Structure 1
């Protein structure tokens, strides 16, 4: 019974932390107080259209911008294309669907959380639960298991590999805030070097300079 109780408690902690990580990721788009974690459904001040004109699999639709939208913000045409294909919705032509349909926004967020964007890469969920084992290349790129690599999977060089950057710190602050709200000790999150992706190389570098603000 003792082992069963311990396993149940660990499962409960993992479930809570998964929710915390999912919610914590939205800090990149809010820019406001921590309590506003899910206040906005889109990036408030896009710095660019996030159109990668070199992507011929998911080419940009003329006049459409692919800035951050959703419960876990989606950026870039290729990400809208990939997620839209998985959910059988034309997000490449109509990324605004993510803003206008809360159910779709959370379907996209959960899909992103659970699904690797490329083969031989981890999902954000896999990084968190310990299914991902860094390769030699990951180690050289300073990618280690923890919340920092979760940020890296979701946002890449929008926020990672740029030093002690505000957008990254906002995400970490939201994560720790939700840990406190849910009564999970911050020690579960690990030290700052595990929380941060400041020195990590992106899993999937973007094709052009970008800012997450």
Structure 2
């Protein structure tokens, strides 16, 4: 989103009839003093907040939705000294419009470059055709600053299913920008290694997209939920890097990501970026069987063991299945070694 300060004030005047708003005499960028975003607090259209080091403006009234997840409600705000990178001037994406390779568009508050010619496919769904684009100098060699390069990722998962693309992972990280981007270089690399080690265990090295044991499929529908199982009794089996399962998890993840996962859970096995996003949703927002999110565990030095507890602690921790715990720890030690950092303390649960 690109607005001059004058246009912003004009917008506010339209949104609040009867209130006179005087634009500043200069259009120079302002030093932002906007308050930190607060989850659950009501924000009227035009509100400006600070979130994870960047600034956002509410495009629509909302009850405290996340600025980086609920991008229909928020846009990046770029009129701040020291705020976001230089603004892009690229047009909004249009469904059905032809885009040759190299085209750059704005979609849901972010920018994307066409990697392949396409007839207007969605930048966040058709991730083979589009890659995230960083304004001001183009994309860095390692998109988004993720501390695992594509070549290292490929070496970590030599037998991975082609569905689990590196581009899909990088696309998904935009929904949770604090992931593997918090703290110093060691902390960032440890979190990336911890996430990928658990993903490795859940999917057999990024080989399996969905749960193997089909006999379990009907067990993940909980009709007692008020929304039931609109996709069918057997539709909510484990899928994706974290094997998202149960209708209530599909509902919660879909609501958080703005995706119809309750009615169309198959998206998690059909779109790489969506699949990765569900894994990052769990990693960054859910406490699972533990007492903290896996992200919190890694950025607050609670150790890799707490990520195991969050993901499958009720079965594996406290001596429940030491072989499974060891497999996760071994993968984590391997991945941290590849990234050139020590694994830290508290590896077991």
**Alignment CA distance shift 1:130-1:13 (3 Å):** same
The structure showing larger relative contact order (alpha-carbon pairs under 8 Å, at least 6 residues apart) is: 1
* Structure with a larger share of its residues in strand: 2
Provide closer, same or farther for how the CA distance between residues 53 and 116 of structure 1 changes in structure 2, counting only shifts above 3 A.
Answer: closer
Q: How far apart are the structure 1 equivalents of 2:190 and 2:227?
A: 33
Q: Rg larger in 1 or in 2?
A: 2
Higher helix share: 1
- Partner Cα distance (2:248, 2:192) in 1: 26
1:48 maps to which of 198, 208, 216: 216
Deviation string, structure 1 residues 7-43 (Cα, Å, up to 9, x no partner): xxx6111111111111111133334xxxxx2233223
Q: Is the 8 A contact 2:250 2:262 kept in 1?
A: yes
Query: SS of the residue aligned with 1:25?
Result: helix
Matches of 1:60 and 1:156, distance apart in 2: 27
Which residue pairs with 2:338 in the alignment? 181
Give 1:106's aligned residue: 276
1:55/1:78 contact within 8 Å kept:
no
TM-score, normalization by structure 2: 0.41
Please, what is the CA RMSD of the aligned residues? Answer: 2.8
TM-score, with length taken from structure 1: 0.64
Query: 1:1-213 maps to which residues of 2 (within 5 A)?
Result: 11-31=184-204, 37-45=205-213, 48-49=216-217, 50-51=219-220, 53=222, 55-57=224-226, 59-61=228-230, 62-117=232-287, 121-130=291-300, 145-161=302-318, 163-186=320-343, 188=344, 190=345, 194-197=346-349
Deviation at 1:130, TM superposition (A): 1.4
Unaligned runs of 5+ in 1: 1-9, 32-36, 132-144, 198-213
Q: Unpaired segments of 5 or more residues in structure 2?
A: 1-182
Cα distance between partner residues in 2 of 1:167 and 1:68: 18
2:262 is paired with a residue whose SS is: coil
Distance 1:177 1:57 in 2: 44
Cα 1:82/1:55, change in 2 over 3 Å: farther
- Displacement after TM superposition at 1:68 (Å): 2.2
Shift of 1:167: 3.4
Query: CA 1:84–1:166 in structure 2 vs 1: closer, same or farther (change >3 Å)?
Result: farther
Aligned length: 164
Q: Distance in 2 between matches of 1:165 and 1:76?
A: 26
Query: Which runs of 4 or more aligned residues in structure 1 lie more than 4 Å from their structure 2 counterparts after TM superposition?
Result: none
